[in-house]
């Protein structure tokens, strides 16, 4: 937290306590966190102050804080008040990466949580295995996929982790062309995408038949931009192949990471959606779209700010808000030129501390 931010936070904390006292629901701000997009205050209410009373005052508190909205929820710290950071900041991937080095294999760095901790995801975990990325145009889906790809190629040797990129738009993965981490050049056409998925399924079957463990062979991440578009163009052939990879791929070291605007039942089967244990949800249009994208109600994903503001939703009730660590295509190209092909690999790790953020 910058020194310039401290007077603002102290004034906002005083304001919260004054509003609560005026409505006979006193409480004391005991601490908080400042994230890239969100500020959290931890409130210790007086013994006679009911949680429902504080929640009822959310609009009054937001008005006093000059914030568009304020969310009230329970947490380990007590009552948590969440409101927008008036000076949101970008998270730079290349600046964040050295902070989490050295790291374990098969792990990717995605961004910074609103508790100020790096969000790292271990692909080999049963609670991850495959990732569904959802959000409307401008939410930052393609930027997130580029960040994930950067984590793979800058953090792992090709012998450990490789990429199969399917990109109907032909733009998301072009910077990766020619890298040794790619199983083949980025796939654009539907016919080639179907053939590539067939190859991935055959590889899965061969590894199963031979009893090869993911530790003995390179893991493969199948990156798909615009999943719905690919499924609609490829029809049952694409759906069937993807479903097989989602059901059996993890044991063979194959992981699917797919992005789409809205993973509705009209496009993706229930079986396909059920096999994405981890969902990364950006801004969506409505509360109903938020429920469809996240697979649960009450996430408020329609209130996200876009431009890399995401929720990570794993098993159970775990939900982490984070800002995607951004890396421009030109910056990634420069970094690849400097690092790839010289035997240098940054090994990414997954912490086990409170959602630093294990997913």
Please provide the DSSP assignment of 84-96 as one string.
E-SS---EEHHHH
> Do 256 and 153 share a structural domain?
yes
Phi, psi of 28 (to 5 degrees): -130, 130
pLDDT at 11: 96
In terms of Cβ atoms closer than 10 Å to its own Cβ (0-12, 13-18, 19+), residue 271 is exposed
Asked if residue 77 belongs to a domain, the reply is yes
Task: Give the pLDDT score at 345.
Answer: 34
Q: Domain count of the chain? A: 2
Judged against a pLDDT cut of 70, whether residue 210 lies above it is answered with yes
Q: How far is residue 251's CA from residue 258's CA, in Å, rounded to a whole number?
A: 19
- Whole-angstrom distance, CA of residue 59 vs CA of residue 51: 15
Is 73 inside any structural domain?
Answer: yes
Distance CA 59, CA 74 (A): 17
Min mean pLDDT across 47-61, 127-141, 236-250, 296-310 is at 296-310
Q: How far is CA 248 from the centre of its chain?
A: 23
The pair phi, psi for residue 321, each rounded to 5°, is: -95, 135
Which pair of tokens denotes residue 23?
Answer: 């409505």
> Is 220 within a domain?
yes
| Mean pLDDT in residue range 132-146 | 94
> Which of 84, 107, 138 is where one domain is finished?
84
Short-list 171, 259, 183, CA closest to 217 = 183
Rounded to 10 degrees, the C-alpha dihedral 221/227/230/232 comes to 150
327 and 234 part of one domain: yes
Residue 350 belongs to some domain of the structure: no
Residue 264: inside a domain = yes
Q: Do both 109 and 39 map to the same domain?
A: no
Which of 15, 324, 348, 321 shows the shortest CA–CA distance to 154?
A: 348
Q: Are residues 77 and 104 in the same domain?
A: no
Q: Do 214 and 97 belong together in one domain? A: yes
pLDDT (0 to 100) of residue 60: 97
- The tokens describing 34, both together, are 């400042």
Question: Is residue 248 a part of any domain in this protein?
Answer: yes
Burial of 48 (0-12, 13-18, 19+ CB in 10 A): exposed
Q: pLDDT tens digits for 70-108?
A: 999 998 889 999 999 998 888 999 999 989 877 688 899
Instruction: Specify the pLDDT at position 55.
Output: 96
Residue 346, pLDDT > 50, answer no
HSE-up of residue 259 (Cα within 13 Å, Cβ side):
25
46 and 108 fall within a common domain: no
Domain that holds residue 209: 91-339
Average pLDDT, the chain: 89
Residue 329 DSSP class? H
Please give the Cα distance from 180 to 200 (Å, whole number): 17
Residue 269 counted as domain residue: yes
Same domain, 133 and 223: yes
| Residues 40 and 129 grouped into a single domain | no
pLDDT for the residue numbered 339: 67
Is position 359 within any domain?
A: no
Pair 64, 124 in one domain: no
- The CATH code of the domain that includes 34 is 3.30.980.40
Q: What is the pLDDT of residue 173?
A: 92
> Are 55 and 158 in a shared domain?
no
CATH number at residue 218: 3.40.50.300
């Amino acid at each position: 937290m910058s020194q310039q931010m401290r007077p603002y936070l102290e004034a906002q904390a005083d304001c919260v306590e004054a509003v609560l006292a005026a409505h006979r629901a006193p409480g004391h701000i005991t601490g908080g966190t400042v994230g890239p997009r969100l500020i959290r205050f931890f409130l210790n209410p007086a013994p006679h102050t009911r949680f429902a009373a504080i929640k009822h005052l959310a609009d009054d508190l937001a008005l006093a804080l000059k914030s568009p909205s304020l969310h009230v929820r329970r947490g380990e710290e007590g009552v948590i008040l969440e409101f927008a950071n008036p000076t949101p900041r970008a998270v730079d991937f290349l600046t964040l990466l050295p902070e989490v080095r050295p790291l374990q294999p098969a792990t990717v760095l995605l961004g910074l949580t609103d508790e100020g901790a790096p969000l790292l995801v271990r692909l080999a975990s049963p609670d991850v295995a495959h990732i569904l990325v959802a959000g409307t145009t401008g939410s930052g889906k393609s930027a997130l996929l580029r960040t994930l790809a950067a984590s793979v190629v800058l953090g792992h040797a090709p012998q450990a982790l490789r990429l199969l990129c399917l990109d109907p738009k032909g733009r998301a993965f072009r910077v990766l062309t020619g890298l040794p981490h790619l199983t083949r050049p980025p796939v654009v056409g539907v016919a080639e995408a179907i053939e590539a998925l067939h190859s991935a399924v055959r590889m899965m079957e061969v590894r199963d038949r031979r009893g090869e463990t993911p530790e003995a062979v390179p893991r493969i991440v199948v990156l798909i931009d615009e999943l719905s578009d690919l499924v609609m163009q490829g029809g049952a052939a694409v759906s069937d192949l993807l479903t097989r990879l989602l059901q059996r791929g993890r044991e063979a070291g194959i992981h699917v990471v797919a992005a789409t605007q809205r993973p509705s039942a009209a496009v993706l089967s229930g079986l396909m959606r059920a096999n994405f244990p981890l969902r990364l949800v950006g801004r969506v249009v409505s509360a109903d779209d938020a429920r469809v994208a996240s697979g649960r109600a009450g996430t408020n994903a329609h209130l996200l700010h876009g431009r890399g503001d995401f929720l990570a939703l794993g098993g159970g009730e775990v939900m982490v808000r984070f800002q995607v660590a951004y890396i421009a295509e030109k910056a990634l190209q420069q970094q690849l030129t400097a690092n790839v092909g010289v035997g240098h690999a940054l090994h990414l790790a997954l912490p086990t501390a409170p959602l630093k953020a294990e997913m």
